[in-house]
Structure 1
Amino acid sequence: MLFLSALRRACVVPSVQRRWLSAPADRLLLIKELRGQTGAPVNDVKAALQTSNWDLDAAMSELRRKGLAAATKKAARHAAEGLVGMARGDGVVAVVEINSETDFVARNSQFRALVGSAAAAALAVSAPRPGCAAELDGEVLRAARMPGGGTLEEAVASVAASVRENVRLRRGFRLAAPGALVGAYLHQKAGDEAGRIAGLVALASSQPLAGAGAEQAQELAHKLAMQVVAAAPRFLDRSAVPAEALEAESRVLREQALSSGKPEKIVDKIVAGRLDKYYGEVCLAEQAFIMDGDLKVQDVLKRTGKQVGSELRLTGFLRVQVGEGLEQEQKDFAAEVAETLKAAA
């Protein structure tokens, strides 16, 4: 009897081990759980669990390792689609751009969740120049901690492995304006805090605003964010235009005037008049207001300031568009299909 009792105790498998040596039904639950946590394809999830002897934590690490490797292989592929995400804090807004190869993946719920979480993580990254829009350091941004744990770089690699495309974190920005009003607008939205183009405007008030006055000023900030998206200004006002840009524009305008046969003595006046038009195109404060083309933005600021009893002035703005500055790849459809069939073989 004593021998049989000892034998039974020796044959008892610890509860932790029983989990990995469980019946097929339990293994299906593990596959479902790991897929839910990672979003990876079922075949990859099953292979990782089998390689890890059905240890959930070890399989998670294996998928992460494979995800990083897969992301590295896909990194050379062109990615100019995607979304910009936006997250808001107290007097600060962060914007990130994450690219994908196709618009189909950009509409994927997993991709959209990544973009939103990435923007939230960017809120914790310090801006180099508080008070205006600044691009964030790429290395620091990639190392930002995600709300669910891990780094932003790891999260991007995980999604890339899941959707089987080149997914990359391109850039991030942070507009920090303590005490100012921040207007934000997303164009072609994909969810609550993601879209194709993001516009931000910081609006400072000389006096504290409350009640209806604060609401009116905030509404103007929102409209100006729409202005930024629609009119794509390059500078805040004419004082922000770099001297070299102004000189280059003046030189082009002068050459145009002379080549058209205008007398030398009136060329300076012509250039001055055309520079005013140039400022009206590239400077936010001097652009025609999109809600009323008869007024400039700076005129609307003065008018609203009088109405709310406080001087309002622009302190910063930001415009981020998906794929801006990236050439769209011209794809050979037949070659793409052949490549897909080859990969599936």
Structure 2
Amino acid sequence: MAITAALVKELRELSGAGMMDAKKALVENDGDVEASMDWLRTKGLAKAAKKSGRTAAEGLVGVKVEGGVGVAVEVNSETDFVGKNADFQKMVNGIVAAAVNVDDVDALKSADVNGKTVEDTVTDAIATIGENMTVRRMAKVTGDVVGSYIHTAAADGLGKIGVLVALKGGDEATAKQIAMHVAATNPASLSEEDLDPAVIEREKTVLTEQARESGKPDNIIENMIKGRIKKFYSEVTLVNQAFVMNPDVTVGQAAKDAGAEIVSFVRLEVGEGIEKVEEDFAAEVAKTMGG
């Protein structure tokens, strides 16, 4: 029986196995999908489908800089333990290297890592390691100089928080210092111009209500809000924050003093924004025991 692409696709979707494994299973079983599923299960290659519903909120962020280009990729797993696994770390490094040549996470999933797509590489790792895994997001920056920093490093270029900073002018030492600052303070945007207008309006509304409770006249309230918004910018925008290395100057001024301008930055933290499901351990045991 001819093994068509549609047949391979069907088996992949049913089993969660990689493309080459699905094709091999169909060849071995003369195109019989049900028999191929059993074949994949006996080889331990159909595990991925069972794992795909589990929350993957742990894992690693990997960063890589090549010249004036920096990429950061978050690859998630179910448990923190997997982040310490050498095979998982090797896979993440391969995925990060592939990310240098693509522009978004969808393109990354189709990129090549040692003869397989990233998507198939992850699927195979799920079957081998036994946990759900996802390539969740990637980000890219470009500049004259790009610096990187990894916080809570598990290995070289891999950790819980990955930061990239792109500069116009300056040097790598300055870029890395600013990257360390970003890791610590997690700014919402580069400057007030880049801040989400909805965030600014929400803050103004809160500040206005607070000021009105003081009972002061409207013209005084207007000046109070201007001052408080300026303070807000100094807290949430990178260039206006007090530099952690020297709080007497802003980050923007520190960059300027070093002959640089900050072009962009990226900060990825493992599991950021993922809702984790916390199960009651006793209930889980009881469920396993049929109680």
Q: Which amino acid aligns with 2:176?
A: H
Give 1:203's aligned amino acid: L
Which of 121, 135, 140 matches 2:107?
A: 140
- The normalised TM-score by structure 1 is 0.69
- 1:152 corresponds to 2:118: yes
Identify if the C-alpha distance between structure 1 residues 68 and 249 changes in structure 2 by more than 3 Å, giving closer, same or farther.
farther
Q: Which moved more, 1:153-162 or 1:331-340?
A: 331-340
Q: Does 1:191 align with 2:155?
A: yes
Per-residue CA distance 1:25-58 (angstroms, 9 max, x = gap) = xxxxxxxxxxxxxxxxxxxxxxx99x969xxxxx
**Alpha-carbon deviation of 1:252?**
1.6
Q: Give the Cα–Cα distance (whole angstroms) in 1 for the partners of residues 41 and 233 of structure 2.
A: 50
Identity of aligned residues (%): 42
Q: For 1:185-264, list aligned pairs within 5 A.
A: 185-205=149-169, 217-264=171-218
On the 8 A contact 1:92/1:174 being kept in 2, the answer is yes
Q: List alignment gaps of at least 5 residues for structure 2.
A: 1-23, 30-38
Cα distance, 1:75 vs. partner? 1.1
Shift of 1:64: 11
Is it true that 1:326 corresponds to 2:254 in the alignment? no
Find the residue that maps to 1:88 and give its secondary structure.
strand
Matching residue's letter, 1:333: F
Matched, 1:273 2:227: yes
Q: 1:67·1:157 contact (CA, 8 Å) conserved in 2?
A: no
Aligned to 1:25: none
**Counterpart among 251, 272, 284 of residue 238 in structure 2:** 284
Alpha-carbon contact 1:71-1:167 (below 8 Å) kept = no
1:140 maps to a residue whose letter is: A
Pairwise CA distance, 1:65: 11
Aligned residues: 260
Describe how 1:122-141 pairs up with structure 2 within 5 A. Answer: 122-125=99-102, 127=103, 136=104, 138-141=105-108
- Relative to structure 1, the CA distance from residue 67 to residue 197 in structure 2 (aligned partners, 3 Å threshold; closer, same or farther) is farther
Q: Return the offset for 1:257.
A: 0.8
In the alignment, residue 126 of structure 2 is paired with which amino acid? A
State the Cα RMSD in Å.
2.9
Deviation at 1:286, TM superposition (A): 0.4
User: Does the C-alpha gap of structure 1 residues 118 and 335 become closer, same or farther in structure 2, counting only changes over 3 Å?
Assistant: farther
Partner of 1:314: 262
**Distance between the aligned counterparts of 2:271 and 2:60, measured in 1?**
9
Give SS of 1:166's match: coil
1:14-93 pair list within 5 angstroms? 69-93=46-70
Shift of 1:341: 7.7
1:264 partner amino acid: D
Alignment of 1:153-172 (within 5 A): 153-172=119-138
User: Larger C-alpha radius of gyration, 1 or 2?
Assistant: 1
Structure 2 vs 1, CA of residues 329 and 260 (structure 1 numbering), >3 Å: closer, same or farther? farther
Cα shift at 1:325: 0.3
Structure 1 residues 64, 228: closer, same or farther in 2, change over 3 A? farther
- Residue 299 of structure 1 corresponds to 253
